[in-house]
Amino acid sequence: MRAHALSTVEGYSGYGAEQGEKLLRAKIASTYYSNVGIEEDDIFVSDGAKSDISRLQVLFGSGVTMAVQDPSYPAYVDSSVIMGQTRLYQEGFGYGKIEYMKCTPENGFFPDLSTVSRTDVIFFCSPNNPTGAAATRDQLTRLVQFAKDNGSIIVYDSAYAMYISDDKPRSIFEIPGAKEIYALVLDILKPCLLAKGLPLDMVAIEVSSFSKYAGFTGVRLGWTVIPKELHFSDGFPVAKDFNRIVCTCFNGASNIAQAGGLACLSPEGLQAMQEVVGFYKENTKIIVETFTSLGFNVYGGENAPYVWVHFPGQNSWDVFSEILAKTHVVTTPGSGFGPGGEGFVRVSAFGHRANVLEACRRFKELYK
């Protein structure tokens, strides 16, 4: 309908608001952030979370330090590499100047923050890709406190929040203090950070996406939340700088994609997204049951469309290759998500039921 309207004199529209259409921004705020004080003008609509992760890197600049969960979604580290924030790559250890926060079965896939060095930015994804782990309220409260103590910024990736089935937080802004004004300035860093305009008083930004809720991977639609309460140490609003980046490097998401996003957030759309998420979670259950019955230690799956299967002592790529060669099923080697993913394979639930059942039949054949 929207695409057709563009061919008419009445329905044609040119450039839209770079931040996204007012109606969609308001709908995202009221649907996902109604009780946490996030408003329409805190939302920046984008062509996907991945693009926004890179735009945030442009906002931070090349002089900052980064921490990531290990393993984690590769876009955080790779965009840091592109920005020139990192040092040399070392096999088995990852990139220099990146703080890898180990997330293992032993620590419940939440890092031991007492061993984590201070960084300017902390990327945190929950529910996590690839481990499937969703952080508890208590864990996120500790993370926010850690960020406040250190004057760090959390970039929280909630691309899988709709997959949470229990009462775990769906947004970092559910944690008190996550969007609070915060003005810690570390004296040693101050001169160089002020020169770069680093947002020192920022605690959390959230990136999210329609990709995994509505099958929008190819449509391209996501959003970033930057609370207006967040200010640079000199009092300048962070959102204003991000706005400048969006206007300079982007110009806004496709209006056709935004019409689709608005439809997703209608009562029928929300219902359809719940059904899609529910369907993939059924797939996940089948995959978890399969590997559990075969005697593997299996993680994730409960609050995410990914199952994280442990192959202790084995090389991820060897496991991946054997599965591919013998079953013709594609999994993802865990080491691709960081050094901490070695010895694991990620199995995705995004597929047709018949294909998932057939893949599981072949896994049972292979590992019987």
Ligand X SMILES: *Cc1c(COP(=O)(O)O)cnc(C)c1O
Encoded tokens for 223: 């959003």
- CB of residue 179 vs ligand X: minimum separation in angstroms? 20
CA angle 139, 144, 146 (to 5 degrees): 90
Asked if 49 is part of the footprint of ligand X (rule: CB under 6 A), the reply reads yes
Asked if 346 is part of the footprint of ligand X (rule: CB under 6 A), the reply reads no
Binding pattern to ligand X, positions 78-107, x when CB under 6 A? ------------------------------
- Which residue type does 357 have? L
By beta carbon distance, the residue nearest ligand X is 48
Place of tokens 């039921």: 353
- CB of residue 50 vs ligand X: minimum separation in angstroms? 3
Backbone angles phi, psi at 126, to 5 degrees: -150, 130
- CB of residue 158 vs ligand X: minimum separation in angstroms? 9
**Could you tell me how many residues make up the chain?**
368
Nearer residue to ligand X within complex by CB, 279 or 367: 279
User: Cis ω on the peptide bond leading into residue 169 (within 30° of 0)?
Assistant: no
- CB of residue 253 vs ligand X: minimum separation in angstroms? 11
Q: Is the dihedral of CA 234, 235, 236, 238 positive or negative?
A: positive
Nearer residue to ligand X within complex by CB, 139 or 233: 139
Place of tokens 């680093």: 198
Beta-strand relationship, 94-95 and 298-300: unpaired
The 3-state DSSP class for residue 244 equals: helix
Residue of the chain from 50, 168, 170, 231 that contacts ligand X (CB under 6 A): 50
Q: What number of helices (H) and strands (E) belong to the chain?
A: 12, 13
- CB of residue 135 vs ligand X: minimum separation in angstroms? 14
* 348 Cβ contact partners less than 8 Å away, ≥ 6 residues apart: 305, 306, 307, 331, 332
Interacting residues with ligand X between 116 and 135 (CB under 6 A): 125, 129
* 71 Cβ contact partners less than 8 Å away, ≥ 6 residues apart: 103, 130, 131, 334, 337, 338, 340, 341, 344
- CB of residue 126 vs ligand X: minimum separation in angstroms? 10
- CB of residue 244 vs ligand X: minimum separation in angstroms? 21
Encoded tokens for 272: 């359809």
Asked if 231 is part of the footprint of ligand X (rule: CB under 6 A), the reply reads no
- CB of residue 350 vs ligand X: minimum separation in angstroms? 10
Encoded tokens for 24: 């969609």
Number of residues that bind ligand X (CB under 6 A): 14
Residue of the chain from 20, 71, 169, 222 that contacts ligand X (CB under 6 A): 222
Q: Beta-strand (E) ranges in 104-256? A: 121-125, 153-157, 204-209, 222-225
Asked if 305 is part of the footprint of ligand X (rule: CB under 6 A), the reply reads no
Q: State the DSSP code for 168.
A: S
Nearer residue to ligand X within complex by CB, 54 or 315: 54
- Which residue type does 241 have? D
Nearer residue to ligand X within complex by CB, 150 or 255: 255
- CB of residue 88 vs ligand X: minimum separation in angstroms? 26
Residue of the chain from 48, 132, 199, 341 that contacts ligand X (CB under 6 A): 48
Place of tokens 């608005």: 262
Nearer residue to ligand X within complex by CB, 151 or 169: 169
Asked if 206 is part of the footprint of ligand X (rule: CB under 6 A), the reply reads no
**Distance between CA atoms of 63 and 7, rounded to whole angstroms?**
46
Binding pattern to ligand X, positions 156-175, x when CB under 6 A? -x-x----------------
Residue of the chain from 30, 217, 274, 355 that contacts ligand X (CB under 6 A): 217
Asked if 73 is part of the footprint of ligand X (rule: CB under 6 A), the reply reads yes
- Which residue type does 102 have? K
- CB of residue 168 vs ligand X: minimum separation in angstroms? 16
Asked if 209 is part of the footprint of ligand X (rule: CB under 6 A), the reply reads yes
Place of tokens 């508890």: 136
List residues binding ligand X (CB under 6 A): 48-51, 73, 125, 129, 157, 159, 209, 211-212, 217, 222
